[in-house]
Amino acid sequence: MRRIRTDLILMVALCLVVILLWTSYHPQPPPSNDVQLLIQATQSPNRPPAVSRPTLHLWPRCHRNLSMVNVTGFSDLPERLRNFLYYQHCKHFPLLLDLPHKCGGTDGSDVFLLLVIKSAPGNFERRQVLRETWAEERKHNGAWIRRIFISGTTGTDLQKQRMNKLMEVEHRNHGDILQWDFEESFLNLTLKQVLFLEWLEDRCPRAHFLLNGDDDIFAHTDNMVEYLQGDHGNLSGDKHLFVGSLMEGTGPVREPNKYFVPVQVQESDSYPAYCSGGGYLLSGHTANVLYKMSKLVALHPIDDAYMGMCLARAGLKPSSHMGVKPGGLFLPPKVDTYDPCYYKDVLMVHRFLPHQMYVLWDQVHDPGLRCWSN
């Protein structure tokens, strides 16, 4: 009996040795990308994977339209405008960093206000301050506020790799970066908007409302939620809303500067009504309409004017709100221009340095703040 038990133990040990030798020479293939994403999601339920799936939004490289050289006066344009015209037809670029779970899946009905903040890769300090101030993800009056920074890429070669690594680290730690592989520039802000609208349609079609703004605005997001909740006929964002600082009776700037739009880009001397691009509020319904119209309207180098063109194409109009101040507040001389009493009732004001934003947000939320009576 003892001999049989000894033989059995030896046989089991021999089998284990054979299994170990076999696995060492026949390693298991790495898990598929979908499995890796599932593992990451299980380990970090509140964070998206650092890099999106390689098959998501992969588009063939868009080549420049060489026929543009035949346009009269093309060769006399600044290089940045020549490049814009070369690639004006390109509306799809690879998505480098994705946020597939930002809105809780394709439903996204719990997102009342989605903060869509335009930010260049190098603006790390601005993003950090916003995460701790008005763009903090939270509930206000029972409504969820969520945050997304949208960005392209900057630099070339090693510099581009380093900046992309910064974005990846932020994405991993905060879960709030959307990045596409196009060159970040002023003339590509419209492209950024169109790419975001496409993402929104795919990833977050049920968000009720959106703030679209720059990363240097002071946005009183508490006031925004209360303003939007006060629109009792549109609480779910299923009706048209596009509100900000209304611009009417304007047209392209023909003198060479940052906003220069030559006739080769737009022959007409007028723009439809639009809201200043520093920041505006819109409903999910209107965002969906803008996405559809963006397929029909050629890209324009001035992103806020482009939004007006898309609205006009759909037969819609933007509206004005006195609490949106893209040019800053017009205050009497010899007063403290950063007195929180001037900002406690606004929706948004442009523009602020990060340290100014950090202090002001704290001050307007001071329960001991005492302001003059109207």
pLDDT tens profile 129-158: 999 999 999 999 999 999 999 999 999 999
| 252 within domain boundaries | yes
pLDDT on residue 36: 35
Give the least confident one: 16-20, 27-31, 134-138, 262-266.
Answer: 27-31
Q: What is the pTM for the complete model shown?
A: 0.83
Domain of 120, in residue numbers: 66-261+279-325
- Give CA–CA dist 6/193, Å, rounded: 74
| 343 within domain boundaries | no
CA distances for 6 relative to 16, 18, 19, 20, 124, angstroms: 16, 19, 20, 21, 67
| 9 within domain boundaries | no
Average pLDDT over residues 335-362: 95
pLDDT tens profile 205-238: 999 999 999 999 999 999 999 999 997 788 899 9
- CB within 8 Å of 29: residues ≥ 6 apart: none
Distance of CA 52 to the CA centre of its chain: 15
DSSP state string for 19-87: HHHHHHHSPPPPPPHHHHHHHHHHH-TTS--SS--TTTT--PPPPP-GGGGGSTTGGGS-HHHHHHHHT
Model confidence at 40, pLDDT cuts 50, 70, 90, reads very low
Alpha-carbon Rg of the chain, whole angstroms? 26
* Cis-peptide, bond into residue 172, ω within 30° of zero: no
pLDDT on residue 334: 87
Do residues 224 and 208 lie in contact, with contact meaning Cβ atoms separated by under 8 Å?
A: no
pLDDT tens profile 265-309: 999 999 999 999 899 999 999 999 999 999 999 999 999 999 999
- Give CA–CA dist 347/84, Å, rounded: 33
pLDDT on residue 60: 79
Q: Residue by residue, what is the 3-state secondary structure of 250-278?
A: CCCECCCCCCECCCCCCCCCCCCCEECCC
Read off the DSSP letter of residue 318.
-
| 153 within domain boundaries | yes
Read off the DSSP letter of residue 340.
G
Could you give the angle at which helices 124-132 and 157-174 cross, rounded to 10 degrees?
Answer: 10
Model confidence at 24, pLDDT cuts 50, 70, 90, reads very low
Model confidence at 11, pLDDT cuts 50, 70, 90, reads low
Average pLDDT over residues 190-202: 96
Average pLDDT over residues 66-88: 95
Whether the per-residue pLDDT at 333 is higher than 60: the answer is yes
- For the domain that residue 235 is a member of, what is the CATH number? 3.90.550
CA angle 106, 306, 304 (to 5 degrees): 90
| 24 within domain boundaries | no
- For the CA atoms of 283, 286, 290, 291, the dihedral, rounded to the nearest 10 degrees, stands at 70
H/E stretch holding 110 reads none
- How does the average pLDDT of the chain come out, rounded? 86
Model confidence at 26, pLDDT cuts 50, 70, 90, reads very low
Domain count, the chain: 1
| 256 within domain boundaries | yes
- For 135, the token pair is 């763009």
The percentage of residues in the chain with a pLDDT greater than 70, rounded to a whole number, is 83
Give the least confident one: 24-38, 198-212, 257-271.
Answer: 24-38
| 177 within domain boundaries | yes
- For 364, the token pair is 């307007």
Whether the per-residue pLDDT at 110 is higher than 60: the answer is yes
| 4 within domain boundaries | no
